């Protein structure tokens, strides 16, 4: 029996005591799911039971038109108090009596608020109040009014620290959903930009937004994203990493299958390619799906600089990727198994530096790599004022001390330093972590099988990448399966006027992104 039916059976001669007894026997879940009652005092009592020991919940009781009882419910610090006084309390309390037979009258005639919503259950009230919207309950009405007057402290829009660019927009997402959606609307001013809202988290009630462009994004992709998000049943969502862990295709893969970004321009670019962007409230990171391996090595600035510069920088990144992944392993393999590959002069120099080192090259490499990773993590976690000093000075001091103590050789310190610098050139932090992890098993292969072990490790990685999917899209596309037309935006960054089509696997609903004859040059017709 629901709460309304229980309270209807109460004898009016002992309404107050019996109401309290019924409320105590009713579970919190049943209270929240119950419909509003037509007695405002009983509604207040139910809500006070729901919000037991919540001192920041404000119940402001007042009279409408000097005669009708009402209550205003809001969370202190999450609602705009000035607007509540000006647009709700003042019009309702100071004006003459109004016809309360229909709640629509209140909405149309008295409330000077642009966004209002009717609520009919206690669960609706809890949800609206949790979002910062004050709720008005009126005596003899079985519906309430939620006013869109949420206001709370939020961070100013700033340039993302982890994705800074020399040329390009300086704005970044923040922790407020409404601001993030407006940043995307400023980039794409079209009604075809759609945003579907979901609420995830039993307690956090986190607002999650699925963003896509109608006509560009495949409907099956939208349905798949919606299905995976709808299956999430967890106590709370505190960051986008929670969502990513639930919806990726292969959770055991070291490679990320969704792209996270703080930059609205990157999110808008993904939308224009037919991809889906997932915005999560209370975090500045948006998720993009699907992605490929090559999108992890592309930066927004590649497309803002001239295409020749963008191509050269992209080649530089691919070269640094190979160095970050293979340089320590190659050093270990050559010194252990393939000394004949090293020029005699260099080999003698390396042998001299390793005279006092008691460890084999593989142990030496592990000592330095683990030390370097520890220093890098320490520099990230420490306060900014001391973090950079610890990471730089610590690396120099420990490296010099290790060489002086005879634990490692000078060439190994240099190899590890070059490897660390190369890993910083990878524009995506989560992708850089993946290759930093894979460096260690390849070093084991190199220390046991030499260059053959390195080849074996690379083959295993390529086989894994070939089987990996991101929302059904092959992770190595457009190289495997081969799409020759799309290779112009993988190994090189072709000029904009030649990038006529969208990626086939995400944008084939509307293949062409620009018209023909866009190549710059003198106007032939004016000659």
Mean pLDDT of 195-218: 92
Q: Which of 152-161, 268-277, 326-335, 506-515 has the least mean pLDDT?
A: 506-515
The residue among 259, 291, 323 that closes a domain is 291
Q: How far apart are CA 440 and CA 433, in angstroms?
A: 12
Residue 50 domain-assigned (yes or no): yes
Residues 449, 385, single domain; the answer is yes
Residue 42 domain-assigned (yes or no): yes
The pLDDT score that the predictor gives to residue 258 is 95
Number of domains in the chain: 3
The pLDDT score that the predictor gives to residue 487 is 84
Highest mean pLDDT among 64-68, 356-360, 422-426, 505-509: 422-426
The pLDDT score that the predictor gives to residue 284 is 94
The residue among 428, 457, 474 that closes a domain is 474
330: confidence class by pLDDT, cuts 50, 70, 90: very high
385: confidence class by pLDDT, cuts 50, 70, 90: low
Residue 489 domain-assigned (yes or no): no
- Is pLDDT of 270 > 80? yes
- Is pLDDT of 254 > 60? yes
Q: Which of 88-92, 294-298, 405-409 has the least mean pLDDT?
A: 405-409
Residue 170 domain-assigned (yes or no): no
Task: Determine contact, residues 202/271, Cβ cutoff 8 Å.
Answer: no
Residue 17 domain-assigned (yes or no): yes
33: confidence class by pLDDT, cuts 50, 70, 90: low
Residues 314, 265, single domain; the answer is no
pLDDT digits (tens, 9 = 90+) for 387-410: 566 666 666 677 777 777 778 888
Residues 264, 373, single domain; the answer is no
Q: Which of 169-183, 292-306, 479-493 has the least mean pLDDT?
A: 479-493
Q: CA dihedral in degrees (173, 166, 495, 421; nearest 10)? A: -100
Mean pLDDT of 132-151: 89
The pLDDT score that the predictor gives to residue 198 is 93
Q: Residue 123, SS3?
A: helix
- Is pLDDT of 344 > 90? no
The pLDDT score that the predictor gives to residue 6 is 55
Residues 311, 383, single domain; the answer is yes
Residues 347, 405, single domain; the answer is yes
- Is pLDDT of 2 > 70? no
Supply 177's token pair.
Answer: 């959903």
Question: Which of 214, 175, 171, 207 is closest to 191 using CA atoms?
Answer: 214
- Higher local confidence (pLDDT), 26 or 469: 469
Residue 23 domain-assigned (yes or no): yes
Question: Which of 362, 364, 334 is closest to 441 using CA atoms?
Answer: 362
Residues 254, 396, single domain; the answer is no
Q: Residue 503, SS3?
A: coil
The residue among 442, 474, 506 that closes a domain is 474
pLDDT digits (tens, 9 = 90+) for 472-488: 899 998 888 888 778 88
Question: Which of 439, 431, 169 is closest to 291 using CA atoms?
Answer: 431
Q: Which of 204-208, 418-422, 491-495, 520-524 has the least mean pLDDT?
A: 520-524
Residues 100, 70, single domain; the answer is yes
- Is pLDDT of 525 > 60? no
Structural domain for 28, as ranges: 3-147
Q: How far is CA 48 from CA 40, 43, 230, 264, in A?
A: 12, 9, 31, 42
Residues 282, 316, single domain; the answer is no
The pLDDT score that the predictor gives to residue 300 is 87
The pLDDT score that the predictor gives to residue 14 is 44
Residues 282, 325, single domain; the answer is no
Q: Measure CA 485 to chain center.
A: 31
Residues 374, 256, single domain; the answer is no
Residues 340, 437, single domain; the answer is yes
pTM of the model: 0.86
Task: Determine contact, residues 184/278, Cβ cutoff 8 Å.
Answer: no
- Is pLDDT of 12 > 50? no
Mean pLDDT of 28-50: 80
The pLDDT score that the predictor gives to residue 351 is 83
Residue 487 domain-assigned (yes or no): no
Residues 111, 85, single domain; the answer is yes
Q: CA dihedral in degrees (410, 414, 419, 420; nearest 10)? A: 100
The pLDDT score that the predictor gives to residue 457 is 95
The pLDDT score that the predictor gives to residue 285 is 95
The pLDDT score that the predictor gives to residue 136 is 92
Q: How far apart are CA 168 and CA 515, in angstroms?
A: 25
The pLDDT score that the predictor gives to residue 512 is 84
- Is pLDDT of 329 > 90? yes
Mean pLDDT of 453-475: 94
Residue 313 domain-assigned (yes or no): yes
Write down the residue that tokens 């929240």 correspond to: 32
Q: CA dihedral in degrees (436, 437, 443, 449; nearest 10)? A: -130
- Determine what percent of the chain is predicted with pLDDT higher than 70: 88
For the chain, the average pLDDT equals 85
- Is pLDDT of 5 > 70? no
399 phi/psi in degrees, rounded to 5: -60, -45
416 phi/psi in degrees, rounded to 5: -65, -40
Mean pLDDT of 206-233: 94
- How many residues make up the chain in this entry? 527
- 287 forms beta bridges with 260, 278
The pLDDT score that the predictor gives to residue 13 is 39
């Amino acid at each position: 029996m629901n709460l309304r039916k229980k309270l209807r059976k109460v004898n009016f001669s002992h309404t107050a005591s019996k109401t309290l007894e019924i409320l105590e026997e009713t579970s919190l879940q049943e209270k929240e799911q119950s419909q509003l009652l037509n007695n405002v005092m009983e509604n207040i009592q139910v809500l006070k039971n729901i919000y037991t020991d919540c001192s920041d919940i404000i119940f402001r009781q007042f009279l409408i038109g000097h005669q009708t009882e009402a209550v205003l419910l809001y969370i202190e610090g999450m609602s705009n108090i000035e607007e509540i006084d000006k647009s709700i309390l003042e019009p309702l309390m100071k004006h003459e009596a109004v016809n309360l037979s229909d709640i629509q009258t209140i909405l149309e005639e008295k409330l000077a608020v642009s966004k209002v919503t009717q609520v009919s259950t206690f669960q609706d009230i809890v949800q609206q109040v949790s979002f910062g919207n004050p709720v008005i309950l009126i005596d003899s009405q079985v519906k309430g009014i939620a006013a869109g007057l949420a206001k709370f402290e939020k961070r100013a829009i700033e340039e993302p620290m982890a994705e800074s660019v020399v040329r390009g927009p300086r704005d970044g997402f923040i922790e407020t959903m409404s601001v993030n959606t407006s940043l995307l609307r400023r980039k794409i001013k079209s009604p075809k930009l759609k945003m579907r809202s979901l609420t995830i988290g039993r307690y956090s009630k986190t607002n999650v937004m699925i963003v896509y462009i109608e006509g560009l994004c495949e409907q099956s992709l939208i349905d798949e994203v919606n299905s995976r998000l709808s299956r999430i049943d967890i106590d709370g969502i505190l960051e986008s990493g929670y969502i990513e862990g639930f919806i990726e295709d292969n959770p055991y893969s070291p490679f990320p299958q969704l792209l996270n970004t703080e930059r609205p321009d990157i999110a808008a670019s993904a939308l224009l390619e037919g991809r889906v962007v997932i915005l999560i409230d209370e975090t500045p990171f948006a998720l993009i799906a699907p992605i490929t391996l090559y999108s992890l090595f592309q930066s927004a600035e590649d497309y803002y600089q001239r295409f020749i510069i963008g191509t050269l920088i992209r080649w530089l990144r691919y070269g640094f990727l190979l160095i970050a992944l293979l340089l320590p392993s190659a050093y270990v393999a050559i010194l252990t198994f393939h000394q004949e590959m090293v020029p005699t002069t260099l080999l003698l120099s390396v042998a001299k530096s390793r005279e006092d080192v008691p460890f084999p090259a593989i142990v030496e490499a592990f000592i330095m790599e683990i030390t370097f990773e520890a220093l890098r993590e320490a520099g990230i976690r420490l306060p900014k004022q001391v973090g950079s000093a610890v990471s730089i000075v610590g690396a120099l001091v420990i490296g010099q001390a290790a060489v002086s103590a005879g634990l490692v050789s000078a060439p190994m310190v240099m190899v590890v330093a070059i490897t660390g610098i190369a890993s910083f050139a990878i524009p995506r932090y989560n992708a850089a972590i993946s290759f930093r992890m894979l460096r260690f098993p390849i070093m084991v292969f190199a220390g046991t099988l030499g260059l053959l072990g390195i080849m074996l490790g690379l083959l295993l990685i390529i086989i894994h990448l070939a089987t990996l999917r991101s929302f059904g899209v092959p992770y190595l596309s457009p190289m495997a399966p081969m799409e020759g037309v799309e290779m112009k935006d993988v190994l090189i960054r072709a000029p904009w006027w030649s990038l006529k089509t969208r990626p086939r696997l995400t944008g084939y609903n509307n293949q062409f992104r620009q018209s023909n004859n866009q190549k710059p040059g003198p106007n032939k017709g004016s000659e």
